[in-house]
A and B are shown apart, each in its own frame.
Chain A
Amino acid sequence: MSAHAATAHGHATHEHHDLGFLRTYVFSTDHKMIAKQFLFMGLFMFVIGGLLALLVRWQLAWPETPVPGLAGILTETGGVLEPSQYNMAFTMHATIMVFFVIMPILAGAFGNFCIPLMIGARDMAFPTLNMLSFWTTFTAGLVMLAGFFVPGGHAAAGWTSYAPLSSVVQYTGVNWGQNIWCISLFTMGIGSMMGSINYITTVINMRAPGMSLFRMPLVVWSLFITAILLLLALPVLTSGVAMLLFDRWLGTSWFLPSGGGEPLLWQHLFWYFGHPEVYILILPAMGIASEILPVFSRKPIFGYHAMAFSMIAIAFLSWIVYGHHMFVSGMNPALGMAFMVTTMIIAVPSAIKTFNWLGTLWGGRIQFTVPMLNALAFVSMFVIGGLSGIFMASTPVDIYIQDTYFIVAHIHYVVFGGSIFGAFAAIYFWFPKMFGRLTNTALGHLHFWPSFVFFNLTFFPMHIIGVGGQMRRIYNPLQYEFLQHQQHWNVIITIGAIGLGISQIPFIVNFFWSMVAGKPAPLNPWNSTTLEWTAASPPPHLNWGPTLPTVYRGPYEYSVPEESADFSPQTQPPRAVAGARRH
């Protein structure tokens, strides 16, 4: 229906919202459309980041053999990856996964989708800024991808881009690739700043009547806290990246000792951003799990306030632990000791969360739906990843395992086992509301179970080879005698990784097929209590009809004794209080 036709039908009484294709699907200011845009972007980048990981894995399992399908691209070597290309592969794998997969999906897509709908707002506080935020991030993504096509190849100094390796062209031979890495992250920083300002303002100012802070669903809490972390952490990276560009372009010496610079300065700046960043990656997933576990246990979340406060605690503590990435960097060892103490402390709020999730399951009526399975996978895999973090937190142990595959195992248990399973859970859970259609359950199981098994097959053995001493970021483990005997693990891991990749195919099929041909979704398919399920599926522009929902109770009122239904929506006034007040 074009704008013209609508007018012809005489909707004179109210403003109409037929904005045409461009304004509806491309330059949309509607938070739900922007959420979908972030989601598509993130999923697309996930395929690229994943395929890069498979490149890495191929090289590690069968070093210096032609990678299938690459003979046409790497013509000079007949498909064999060169060391510099290997470095480029894992650098871009990690950069893409962290900045252009997890952040867009968790903070971008679900931040946009959940915040207004779950606090009962019609849109974000600044819809246009919201649109700009997406397009800035999108541009950053394009710039990052463009780096693959410049002479000299893409950045190859690791996702951490330690100076001076990254600050002097001769050290890696990469010129434009590293510049593009900097420019892209600079742009991304601006984009996510716009987003986070928007989220914070929206949560503070735009809540529906009755939606007090402690009636907000925990996923909104988590996104709110994530936004604050993003807002404060990314500018630090931005400043570091600007210095790096100065060094590269103007010949200055922020990080070069010969000109009075300090190489460790980059590490301090990077990790001061980088550690809050890893919690930016996990907090939304924690929120998502806290959302999904109660729904499918038909039970209120265990310890709502503890859940909210532990996230706040994590956010605070995340600023003072960053030095645990630098235990053996040459930083003052006394500082290392201080960072060990704070790092140990930051495990406590995670412990609280873990046990509260278990408490939520206890005595529930657990329904093993696909989102629930993914949320349970999140909890269990996060526990494994978190526990491996304790090894590194202990400074003496970290001396040995730093920069080994033990760290790589830790990374992937928290980011894939944690964040990505969290993202899957969220996609399956909110898909009906997002697209108005149900996903296919059989395909969902076909995605979940192989993913779960192959995930563990891929990443669990990394602990073993890490303890055996295999370093990360090495091109060919067979160059080392002490690693020869565990090469079979590398083969197993790679087979697992390929299986993990193939397991994503049912997901992709399910996602797109359900989007166009899934069964139409009812308003509230999971019998959930939060506000988004009171809007139409998918919710129209401005989300609700003329009146906004009014909130009468907390977000997790399942199986309330006096009430017959096993869920009591937030909009439903408590019967016992009709008229009278408690106290």
Chain B
Amino acid sequence: MSADDRVRRPPLERDHPIRNWSSFFAPGNGASPGNGSGEERAPDPVARAVELGYAVIDEYIRQGQNVARGVAQQMGDRGFSAMPPTGEWQQAMSRMAQLSAEWMGMWFELAQRAMGPVDGGAGSSWRSPFPATGGSPAHGTSGTTGVRVEHARVRVEVAAARPIEVSLDLRTEELHAALVVHSLRAVDPSLPRLTEVSFVPATGDAPAVLRVRVPVEHPPGTYRGVVIDPRSNRPAGSVAVRVLPA
């Protein structure tokens, strides 16, 4: 058989994938930009519009899910504080944490104002309780840690099977009062609250004590709550507990 007798495939119409939206659902029929035909039409604009619409919104949702999955995975693998300083989602997480801290500070100020007139400098100089702007984190797995806070001496007692960080910011020097700590919650409402957080008033020379107990199975995350002075029913500060992966 000579070379001229061999059966040959016809030349390919194209040798690369079509990568544009207008032809994605109806290859070859889309009116691609620049064809200059002046008269071409997609065969079924209704079906194509619906398919295109779903493609756009599903892609949008998928991108959001990917970001969320990356954040969750990274937090699970290494913990929030061990994240690398670069990367798109890392920046997003840092921004979220910063925003959260900023909002919390503003929130307390608003709450204070809503509950009554701001009395003097303490209320008007309210600062965010979280590490971005203030507070002294106490690291530990269990035992007792002394912490100097801005206005008064408070001892933090931690009982946890895993590393945690505790940030406490008090806006009162009345540590002989039986301050109430509301259960701490994460931004994600599906995470269980940290309920075993309590405040023991100072007595005599003994400092006030903040007791935090984190259950063994409690999921990693940052949990925040308000400290209330029950006599005035005003916010007296806040507590943040960051539970790190084991």
Answer yes or no: are A and B bound together in one complex: no
